[in-house]
Amino acid sequence: VLLIPADHPGRKPSDTYYISRPGGKELSSAVDTLLRTHTSAHQSTLMRSGKEAFLCTGDVYRRDEIDASHFPAFHQMEGVKLFDPAAVGGAMTKEEWLASDE
């Protein structure tokens, strides 16, 4: 599971860098042929290993137009914290929070 919305720019083929061998020959698999657009690929492995909290950092690459806030290569950091559902049972739902004055 990518945990990335389907309409996110990082999932568009036109916004992803692909690599081919010299002479235009395709590489053997998709894993070998694209530069990652997110660091979230590591989340499921770390969750399955029993980690309850972790940070994923790395360089990511997207075909962005260069301007004051965009560049084709940048650093991304994602933090994940897993909670026991019983421990957050009193937490507000998104709808309750939106309806509150907080």
Total domain count, the chain:
1
- Give alpha helix (H) positions in 6-101: 30-33, 43-48, 94-99
Give the tens place of pLDDT for each residue, 29-85: 545 567 888 888 888 888 889 888 999 999 988 887 889 988 889 999 999 998 877
Q: Is residue 3 part of a domain?
A: no
Q: Is residue 15 part of a domain?
A: yes
Domain that holds residue 92: 9-99
As a whole number of angstroms, the distance between CA 43 and CA 102 comes to: 31
Q: Is residue 20 part of a domain?
A: yes
101, pLDDT greater than 50: yes
Instruction: Give this prediction's pTM.
Output: 0.55
Q: Is residue 57 part of a domain?
A: yes
Residue with the bigger pLDDT between 21 and 58: it is 58
